[in-house]
Amino acid sequence: MKIVRFYLRRFLRAQRLPSKDLQLWRDEMLSAILLVTVCLGALTAVPSVLLAIRDKLFSIILIDGLAIAWLFTLWRWRSLSFVARSWNFLLIVYLVGVFFLLKVGPVSQIYLLAVPVLTSLLLGLRPAIAVLVVNALTLLAVGFFADIDLQFDRYHDRPFLRWIIISLNFTFISSVITITCGVLLRRLEESLRKQMEISQSLKGEQKSLRKANEELRLISAAVENLNDMVLITNNDLGAEGPQLVFVNRAFEHISGYGRSEVLGKSLDVLYGENSDSHEIIRIHTAMQSQQAIRSEIISYNKAGKEFWLEIDIQPINDSAGVCSNFVAIERDISDRKKAEFDIYRLAFFDVLTGLPNRRLLRDRMGVLLASAQRTGHFGAVLFIDLDHFKTINDARGHATGDELLIEVAKRLSGLLREVDTVARIGGDEFVVLVDNLDNHIEMASKMALSVADKIRIGLAKDFEIDGQTYSSSCSIGVTLLPKAGQSVDDLLRESDTAMYRAKSAGRNQIAFFEGAMQTEVEERLTLEHDLAKAQDLCELQMVMQAQVNELGVPVGAELLMRWNSKDRGPVSPVVFIPLAEASGLIVRMGDWVIAQACQIALLLRSHACDFPLSVNVSPKQFRQADFVDKVATILAQYQVDGSCLIFEVTEGLFIDDLQETIARMSKLSALGIRFSIDDFGTGFSSLNYLKRLPLYELKIDKSFVHDVPGDANGAAIVGSILSMAKQFGLRVVAEGVETEAQADYLIENGCDSLQGFLYSRPIAPSAWLAART
């Protein structure tokens, strides 16, 4: 009884509604019970109905028919709730039991016995206990009041006690069967519930497992199809290091190794002779300490070809936090490294020659200067400029010029030590840094001079390009370092200044920088600045020097520029004209000269002096794209005919682009302007351009006139020029005539005009006109 009470309390306390799946199971169970009951009820009702018909018990026939019909209706009526169907089914069994108890007798108690058992199965233990109580009360009431014959003689005189005993025994047996069924059903429900929970858990785990498997499949596919190489090693930290346990297809494609060839080997399988040993040690050290590392290193494929790898190695820990593997992500960065190298070369090296450029040169000069200041050993900077390179470049084309520069770079590199630096800083300019000469300045100077002379002699040798031989000397400026307060800019400026001194000394020379050179450069810059302002300050003026015929009558005049500075006084044309040419000021000054020539021509014409005026035209001025238009504008402004002007040009004008020069001269000739070749015979003399150019006259340079008639060679040159000019129909003007003997010789040999101090010094036009009156 204690066990029964224990389970009874437990199930009464723990009773709860079945889950959805258990309820479905009970629905199916109820439907099955109803179906079986209908079928078996129909079979058992046949003999009962027959007996009832024989005995004329029509109420039994009615009850059986109604019960079976009701049961059939409940079986088909699935939309009715489970509880309602269950109570209807139990009510049928109960009512049939009560009816048969009244009509048939005590044997019908079996129906009442089935009601609590079925209630326990269908609705649970609590409703079943309630039904047990109802059954006991029903049996007691019906049996006592209906006086049913029980074939039980004891207590015949005490019927109520007799039915109490029967009811208690009936209830006891019913309770045992009912509770047993309830316990079994409860156990079954709990078991089913646990099985369902386990099943749900398994479904969840299977779902998670399928998801994990799908993720693993995707990860595996992604790793296999990555463009980057993926390598996984074990955690063996022995002497050879962790061994490979996995490589993806990218590894096989890039390295050329198959999986079977590398599994079990270390990461060192890809390293070779040019792999950075320090970087390899750093990788091994990081893996030994189980730390992540990133590296870039030269590697080798199976064929031995070098390529750059970017390596990212990460330790992988297991659930216990212990390193179980290493994974290395490696990618081929050869293209990136090449691009970085190309960018570096473009930034720090000359594209044509491959030598360091100005930027890298300055860096190395800074290092050299700091080292020299620290050690006390002198170094030197050599500034090298090729002589007449422009002539070769213009005459043979830029391709030949570039080849010459490449050959010069090779020759310079071959002449110097590996520790020295050869750089190209632009055009035909090279700079050489010579380190660690000597700690005594005298010896260092001698050694620097020796290196410079070695370079000068080396570059003076002929160069062979495309089967042609070219010669190109060089001018070299040298400065020593270190000096107090000296900077990189000072080194370049000093060596450049010395180089220009070497050029002015006749080219193919070597010049050391001296303090006086800097003073000279600064003076030149100041002079250029003052010259730029001279025109606006009206410090420039034009003077004229007459050109006379054999009778001494003026037939022309040359206009010459003079600069009377308010601060400096008179400045020689020998000084400021080359400066104007070099700085570009000559273009603006030349336009002013043409305008002045027109004004002077008008002034002379007003005094009945109608002869042409010669003005010097610089090649730089002549090559201006709008030169012809500017000349036409000036002539129109002053209403002067072009025939009153003669443009004196030098032979250097005809070296570059002769066709363009001829076309431009023809346009100017159409304006009436005539052309004279100044200093004829001192430059690029050629009979070819004499017959092609629209020339008017030749001017014999005073250096030739100075030697006649005493010098036979000079006289021969002058005679040849005069004879040639007559053949071409050109006038000849001899400048620099200072003696009667010179004049007589020139007149005797047919010179058309004479110009020089013998006849007139350069003076202002107004003064010249005043002297004639």
> What pLDDT does 41 receive?
67
Q: Which of 222-231, 683-692, 693-702 holds the top average pLDDT? A: 693-702
- Segment 307-313 shows an average pLDDT of 89
196/192 Cα distance (integer angstroms): 6
> What pLDDT does 465 receive?
86
**DSSP summary character for residue 470:** E
> What pLDDT does 60 receive?
66
> What pLDDT does 678 receive?
87
Burial class (CB in 10 A: 0-12, 13-18, 19+), 373: middle
Considering only 25-34, 164-173, 176-185, 586-595, which range has the smallest mean pLDDT?
Answer: 164-173
- Segment 638-667 shows an average pLDDT of 86
pLDDT > 50? residue 11: no
Better-scored residue on pLDDT, 35 or 174: 35
- Segment 563-580 shows an average pLDDT of 88
Radius of gyration of the chain (CA): 62
Give the relative orientation of helices 58-76 and 20-54 as an angle to the nearest 10 degrees.
Answer: 160
Q: What percent of the chain has pLDDT over 90?
A: 22
> What pLDDT does 15 receive?
40
pLDDT > 80? residue 2: no
- In which band, very low, low, confident or very high, does the pLDDT at 8 lie, cut at 50, 70 and 90? very low
Better-scored residue on pLDDT, 176 or 690: 690
> What pLDDT does 397 receive?
81
> What pLDDT does 12 receive?
39
- Is beta strand 697-700 parallel, antiparallel or unpaired with respect to 731-735? parallel
Considering only 10-14, 108-112, 500-504, 543-547, which range has the smallest mean pLDDT?
Answer: 10-14
> What pLDDT does 386 receive?
92
Could you tell me if 437 and 447 are in contact, meaning their C-beta atoms sit under 8 angstroms apart? Answer: yes
Q: What percent of the chain has pLDDT over 70?
A: 82
pLDDT > 90? residue 652: no
For 619-645, write each residue's pLDDT tens digit.
889 989 899 999 999 999 999 999 999
Considering only 284-298, 337-351, 492-506, which range has the smallest mean pLDDT?
Answer: 337-351
pLDDT > 50? residue 3: no
Nearest to 95 by CA among 134, 152, 122, 150: 134
pTM: 0.46
End-to-end CA distance of the chain: 168
> What pLDDT does 6 receive?
43
For 282-291, write each residue's pLDDT tens digit.
888 888 888 8
For 382-402, write each residue's pLDDT tens digit.
999 998 888 887 777 888 889
Better-scored residue on pLDDT, 72 or 738: 738
pLDDT > 80? residue 218: no
Better-scored residue on pLDDT, 746 or 220: 746
Q: Label residues 224-236 b or e (16+ Cβ within 10 Å = b).
A: eeeebbbbbbbbe
> What pLDDT does 57 receive?
62
3-class SS letters over 105-149: CHHHHHHHHHHHHHHHHHCCHHHHHHHHHHHHHHHHHHHHHHCCC
Task: Please name the helix (run of DSSP H) or strand (run of DSSP E) that holds residue 677, with its range, or none.
Answer: strand 674-680
> What pLDDT does 46 receive?
65
> What pLDDT does 672 receive?
93
- Segment 353-373 shows an average pLDDT of 90
> Would you give the distance in Å from CA 32 to the centre of its chain?
78
210/52 Cα distance (integer angstroms): 67
Could you tell me if 343 and 332 are in contact, meaning their C-beta atoms sit under 8 angstroms apart? Answer: no
Secondary structure of residue 332 in the 3-state scheme? strand
Task: Please name the helix (run of DSSP H) or strand (run of DSSP E) that holds residue 163, with its range, or none.
Answer: helix 159-225
Task: Please name the helix (run of DSSP H) or strand (run of DSSP E) that holds residue 464, with its range, or none.
Answer: strand 463-465
For 99-147, write each residue's pLDDT tens digit.
766 666 665 666 677 777 777 777 777 887 787 777 777 776 766 666 5
pLDDT > 50? residue 4: no
- In which band, very low, low, confident or very high, does the pLDDT at 613 lie, cut at 50, 70 and 90? very high
**DSSP summary character for residue 40:** H
> What pLDDT does 445 receive?
84
325/316 Cα distance (integer angstroms): 5
For 372-382, write each residue's pLDDT tens digit.
888 888 899 99
For 451-478, write each residue's pLDDT tens digit.
988 999 999 898 888 888 888 889 999 9
Better-scored residue on pLDDT, 737 or 54: 737
Encoded amino acid at 658, one letter: L
- The string of DSSP letters for 75-101 reads HH-TTS-HHHHHHHHHHHHHHHHHHHH
- In which band, very low, low, confident or very high, does the pLDDT at 529 lie, cut at 50, 70 and 90? confident
For 254-269, write each residue's pLDDT tens digit.
888 888 888 888 888 8
